[in-house]
RNA sequence: GCCCCUGUGGCGGAAUUGGUAGACGCGCCAGACUCAAAAUCUGGUGGCCGCAAGGCCGUGCUGGUUCGAUUCCGGCCAGGGGCACCA
């Protein structure tokens, strides 16, 4: 079939894409109305930090979200698909220090650049709802909620140990301490006790853990990570009496937490955290102990040190009495491996069944007694030397517990000790402990949301009165000195006490930026409301987010904080639900080959040319022709220079090609390898679709639907509706790589159908081809929206395909009249058999046994059994 | 150390969840068009044997369950991720 030569023009993405973006903008078709009566669908991608330019990870993330948004819109939903900026944070301050630009100017310039980049991707976003967390119109509400949380008992001020950088004069997060040194200054980090603000997330430990089971549209992996992070363990709090002759001051007992009360008869020592009050009390009388505790404090910030740190202890001289035998005295050690903020900061050590305790006793010669014996183990040969036994078994060497299982022994110990009282209190009680700690939100930083608190020498710590909100960041600050610019601002921090009117001081700490991102999804539902953080009507309407999409790196912190924050908002009346994200999808990274020059420097993909001959690939620098080594495929990063700039791809191939390639091949949860060949393949397909649609547009079809369809026409219609069914199902399940494959298949089938036309097109086939063309364009529209508009127009439609409904499936076209079943003999495929769709088992069996291939495979033997699985397979067992 | 995931052609991956292994794409090979190139189109492409028809082998390794296993169960190997002195 020949085509008009004018239709042979290539599709020009660079010209077409801005044109269609403008058309969408002018018609405002992506603006969401809060009074839209259709069923709601809220799709959200994790909003970006305005670092400067978008990267390929953003392209992947936002493409996926956009496919879902466009699909749901076509399915008749009122879709909320907003975008904003996680705009507070350290990089802006670093830029201020390095380049003398104000953080605010730097941030807003980046936002402008990145917004233009996102717009060039053709995303169907409602930009009218755009928010930036550094805007006082946003953080004012965050301050209001902080005060509400404070009133509701969800915020607390307490002392805590922090990593302190003495050069930059700021607190560092654990991730910012590298090998014991500050990541910016390189100074040795100190441990300091500071008074900080905390959100009481640990009050919700149990709820946050239990509710994970209700999040059935979250990846199992993320739920598991959160479960481990919350870290629930059941155990027993036991009060040990101390030997009065050995105790300093008025201490008389020591409370410990254990999950293994069954091993109580294997105890060899008691351990105290260096921060334990009893350790401090003992140190007051013992300078050597005090020195040891000091030594412990100096170490222990750097991860590497903790990994390799030797178990060290110091005998306090105090002796504890065994709860079941007052005559049995246990030495009380201060030990460097015991944490103050878990349990009670004190343990009893059972070396035979705990590796750390074993390492400890082996160093100090305290010995061990096994009390759990593995099933089938000979008691006489059961000795623990260097490896503790933490498996199952029977109790031994344990008096009244002997012979019991671990579970029985735990229960027996708990029962005995919780019914025994001392000073009107039970000696032991059951307790559930969580690893999750309260969320410290104080940062000694400028570029963050100010904590709305005033410190008055007379009246104490006071909230800023609501009428004075927002507490705005002053803009006249300097970054020439280390430390927090707010702290040395001449006027900002000096205020009058709202209670007594005397001189008072503002809180100069700002909030952790994770606070900003813990509620932005709620603000999107009505970003205009000025007198409250949220409009309850809109929050109730739109939340939870139906589909949240982002990187796995946020599996714990951001997602856990948001879950807590939503609960806190519920308690203070700002929201009505517990779980903000009904569906979560974590996408994989974008990775790329690395290229290394002879001198060891990395080369950028854009500067490298790849040649292939046979199976060998060779990379050379375009500029000089120097051969570079092709290295392993790694996450795109500045350090390895294996990044590809989205702008370059948009420029040379267009947004649709980039979007299509991002969705092809790799399943969305896995890493995708960005390759030049892959992009070219996607670009080829864009042109192929354009030609194919051009050919269909040339077909003269009757207005009316024909009453009858011939074989060729029916085949086209079946291919179209099968593709429709498959693609719909796969988009709904976010299996974009399969959508892509099905669209390829469909385009291949259509291409063959048109190529097979020899003379004139019959009216029924012409009609079927036009129908198939319309379906094809609407199917790929969510992935390649600009090309789809261009094709839709070429097919003669006047409306935008972006506001067209999804095609109607005709299910009867999915049903075949005859089916071809594979035929196995003894489990090996030998033939196919084609039978009517509703053929009975006996008919199929007869047809199968008549096949030559089956007779041959049976070698004259008669079959023992014929298994016929309807619609699936036939297996002949000889 | 504890917990979890993954392993299929040269490559990315598919397989209706126990029923034809390798869809679709990339790459490669051959051909058509062209003075040539680009672009495009056609055919081939897991391995081995065979002119062919066809046969044998094949989803990390190794056992098992089953008429039938990439899929389920046991053991091992390899790679990746999370937590990490949490008592």
The pTM of this model reads 0.93
What's the CA gap between A106 and A488, in Å, rounded? 22
A820 touches strand B (CB under 7 A): yes
pLDDT score at A878? 78
A877 touches strand B (CB under 7 A): yes
A8 touches strand B (CB under 7 A): no
Phi and psi at A29, nearest 5°, equal: -75, -10
What's the CA gap between A223 and A212, in Å, rounded? 6
For A400, which DSSP code?
A: G
Nearest nucleotide by C1' position to the A853 CA atom: B54
- Asked if omega into A544 is within 30° of 0 (cis), the reply is yes
DSSP string, A458-497: TTEEEEPPGGG---PPPS----SSSS-TTTT-SSTTEEE-
Q: Is A805 in contact with A786 (CB distance < 8 Å)?
A: no
DSSP string, A331-352: EEEEETT--TTSTTSEEEE-GG
Strands A590-596 and A584-587: unpaired
The C1' atom of B22 and the CA atom of A60 lie apart, in whole Å, by 27
Q: Is A762 in contact with A685 (CB distance < 8 Å)?
A: no
What's the CA gap between A660 and A687, in Å, rounded? 13
Helix axes A557-571, A136-151, angle to 10 degrees: 70
The C1' atom of B33 and the CA atom of A687 lie apart, in whole Å, by 19
Strand B bases, protein C-beta under 7 A? 1, 3-5, 10-16, 19-21, 23-29, 39-42, 55-56, 67-69, 82-87
The C1' atom of B7 and the CA atom of A753 lie apart, in whole Å, by 40
What's the CA gap between A136 and A130, in Å, rounded? 14
Nearest nucleotide by C1' position to the A832 CA atom: B20
The C1' atom of B83 and the CA atom of A229 lie apart, in whole Å, by 7
Beta strand residue intervals within A155-252, DSSP E: 155-165, 170-172, 177-178, 181-182, 190-199, 232-242
A665 touches strand B (CB under 7 A): yes
Nearest nucleotide by C1' position to the A665 CA atom: B12
The C1' atom of B27 and the CA atom of A632 lie apart, in whole Å, by 18
* Residues sharing a CB contact under 8 Å with residue A68, sequence separation 6 or more, in sequence order: A43, A547, A549, A731, A734, A782
What's the CA gap between A573 and A207, in Å, rounded? 18
> For each successive 10 residues of chain A (878 residues), what is the average pLDDT?
49 94 96 97 97 95 97 98 96 90 96 97 98 98 98 93 79 68 74 88 94 93 92 94 87 92 95 93 93 79 52 93 95 92 92 91 91 84 85 90 92 95 93 91 93 96 95 93 88 94 95 96 98 97 97 91 97 97 94 90 90 76 88 88 92 95 92 92 94 91 92 93 96 95 94 82 93 96 97 95 96 88 86 85 87 81 85 87
A822 touches strand B (CB under 7 A): yes
Which residue, counting CA atoms, is nearest to the C1' of nucleotide B6? Answer: A670
Which residue, counting CA atoms, is nearest to the C1' of nucleotide B5? Answer: A221
pLDDT score at A374? 84
Phi and psi at A580, nearest 5°, equal: -75, -25
A263 touches strand B (CB under 7 A): no
| Structure tokens given for A347 | 């343990």
A613 touches strand B (CB under 7 A): yes
**Closest Cα to residue A402, out of A268, A528, A266, A302?**
A266
pLDDT score at A381? 82
Q: Is A157 in contact with A461 (CB distance < 8 Å)?
A: yes
Q: Who among residues 264-283 of A has its Cβ near strand B, under 7 Å? A: 273
The C1' atom of B24 and the CA atom of A641 lie apart, in whole Å, by 31
What's the CA gap between A148 and A516, in Å, rounded? 16
HSE toward the beta carbon, residue A351, CA cutoff 13 A: 21
Nearest nucleotide by C1' position to the A257 CA atom: B87
Which residue, counting CA atoms, is nearest to the C1' of nucleotide B29? Answer: A614
What's the CA gap between A99 and A93, in Å, rounded? 10
A347 touches strand B (CB under 7 A): yes
Nearest nucleotide by C1' position to the A675 CA atom: B26
Whole-angstrom Cα Rg for chain A: 35
A152 touches strand B (CB under 7 A): no
């Amino acid at each position: 079939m020949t085509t008009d030569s004018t239709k042979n023009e290539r599709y020009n993405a660079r010209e077409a894409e801005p044109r269609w973006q403008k058309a969408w903008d002018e018609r405002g078709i992506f603006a969401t109305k809060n009074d839209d009566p259709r069923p709601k669908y809220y799709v959200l991608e994790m909003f970006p930090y305005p670092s400067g330019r978008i990267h390929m990870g953003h392209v992947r993330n936002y493409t996926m979200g956009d496919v879902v948004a466009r699909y749901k819109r076509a399915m008749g939903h009122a879709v909320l698909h907003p975008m904003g900026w996680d705009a507070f944070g350290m990089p802006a301050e670093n830029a201020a220090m390095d380049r003398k630009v104000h953080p605010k100017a730097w941030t807003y310039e980046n936002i402008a650049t990145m917004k233009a980049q996102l717009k060039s991707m053709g995303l169907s976003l409602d930009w009218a709802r755009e928010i930036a967390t550094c805007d006082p119109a946003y953080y004012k509400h965050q301050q209001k909620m902080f005060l509400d949380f404070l009133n509701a008992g969800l915020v607390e001020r307490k002392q805590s140990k922090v990593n302190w950088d003495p050069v930059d004069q700021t607190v560092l997060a654990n991730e910012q301490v590298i090998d014991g040194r500050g990541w910016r200054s390189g100074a040795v980090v100190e441990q300091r006790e500071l008074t900080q603000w905390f959100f009481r997330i640990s009050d919700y430990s149990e709820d946050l853990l239990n509710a994970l089971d209700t999040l059935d549209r979250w990846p199992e992996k993320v739920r598991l990570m959160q479960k481990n992070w919350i870290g629930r363990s059941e155990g027993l709090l036991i009060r040990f009496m101390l030997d009065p002759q050995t105790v300093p001051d008025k201490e008389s007992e020591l409370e410990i937490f254990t999950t293994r009360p069954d091993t109580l008869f294997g105890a060899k020592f008691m351990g105290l955290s260096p921060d334990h009050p009893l350790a401090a009390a003992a140190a007051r009388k013992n300078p050597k102990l005090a020195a040891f505790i000091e030594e412990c404090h100096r170490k222990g910030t750097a991860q590497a040190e903790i990994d390799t740190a030797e178990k060290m202890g110091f005998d306090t001289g105090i002796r504890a009495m065994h709860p079941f035998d007052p005559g049995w005295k246990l030495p009380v050690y201060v030990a460097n491996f015991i944490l103050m903020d878990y349990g009670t900061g004190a343990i009893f050590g059972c070396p035979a069944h705990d590796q750390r305790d074993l390492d400890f006793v082996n160093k100090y010669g305290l010995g061990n007694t096994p009390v759990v014996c593995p099933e089938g183990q000979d008691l006489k040969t059961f000795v623990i030397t260097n490896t503790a036994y933490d498996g199952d078994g029977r109790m031994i060497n344990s008096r009244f517990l002997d012979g019991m299982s671990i579970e029985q022994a735990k229960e027996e110990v708990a029962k005995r000790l919780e019914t025994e009282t001392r000073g009107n209190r039970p000696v032991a009680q059951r307790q559930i402990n969580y690893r999750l700690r309260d969320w410290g939100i104080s940062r000694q930083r400028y570029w963050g949301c100010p904590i709305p608190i005033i410190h008055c020498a007379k009246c104490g710590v006071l909230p800023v009165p609501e009428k004075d909100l927002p507490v705005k960041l002053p803009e006249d600050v300097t970054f020439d000195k280390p430390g927090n610019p707010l702290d040395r601002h001449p006027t900002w921090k000096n205020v009058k006490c709202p209670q007594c009117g005397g001189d008072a001081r503002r809180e100069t700490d700002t909030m952790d930026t994770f606070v900003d991102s813990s509620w932005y999804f709620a603000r999107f539902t009505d970003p205009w409301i000025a007198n409250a953080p949220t409009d309850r009507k809109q929050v109730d309407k739109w939340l939870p987010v139906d589909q949240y999409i982002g990187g796995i790196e946020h599996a714990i912190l951001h997602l856990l904080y948001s879950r807590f924050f939503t609960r806190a908002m519920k308690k203070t009346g700002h929201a009505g639900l517990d779980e903000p994200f009904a569906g979560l999808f974590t996408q994989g990274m974008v990775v790329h080959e690395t290229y290394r020059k002879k001198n060891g420097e990395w080369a950028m993909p854009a500067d490298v040319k790849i040649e292939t001959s046979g199976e060998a690939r060779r990379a050379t620098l375009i500029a000089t022709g120097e051969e570079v080594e092709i290295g392993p495929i790694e996450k795109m990063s500045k350090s390895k220079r294996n990044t590809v700039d989205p702008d370059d791809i948009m420029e040379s191939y267009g947004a649709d090609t980039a979007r299509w390639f991002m969705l092809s091949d790799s399943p969305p949860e896995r890493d995708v390898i960005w390759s030049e060949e892959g992009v070219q393949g996607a670009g080829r397909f864009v042109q192929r679709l354009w030609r194919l649609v051009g050919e269909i547009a040339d077909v003269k079809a009757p207005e009316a639907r024909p009453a009858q369809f011939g074989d060729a026409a029916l085949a086209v219609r079946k291919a179209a509706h099968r593709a429709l069914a498959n693609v719909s199902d796969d988009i709904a399940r976010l299996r974009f790589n399969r959508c892509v494959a099905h669209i390829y298949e469909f385009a291949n089938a259509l291409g063959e159908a048109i190529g097979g036309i020899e003379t004139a097109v019959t009216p029924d086939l012409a009609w079927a081809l036009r129908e198939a063309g319309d379906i094809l364009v609407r199917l790929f529209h969510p992935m390649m929206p600009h090309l789809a508009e261009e094709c839709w127009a070429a097919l003669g439609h006047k409306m935008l395909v972006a506001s067209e409904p999804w095609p109607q499936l005709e299910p009867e076209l999915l049903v075949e009249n005859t089916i071809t079943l594979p035929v196995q003999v003894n489990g090996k495929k030998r033939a196919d058999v084609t039978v009517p769709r509703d053929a009975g088992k006996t008919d199929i069996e007869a047809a199968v046994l008549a096949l030559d291939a089956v007779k041959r495979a049976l070698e004259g033997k008669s079959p023992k059994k014929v298994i016929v699985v309807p619609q699936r397979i036939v297996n002949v067992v000889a």
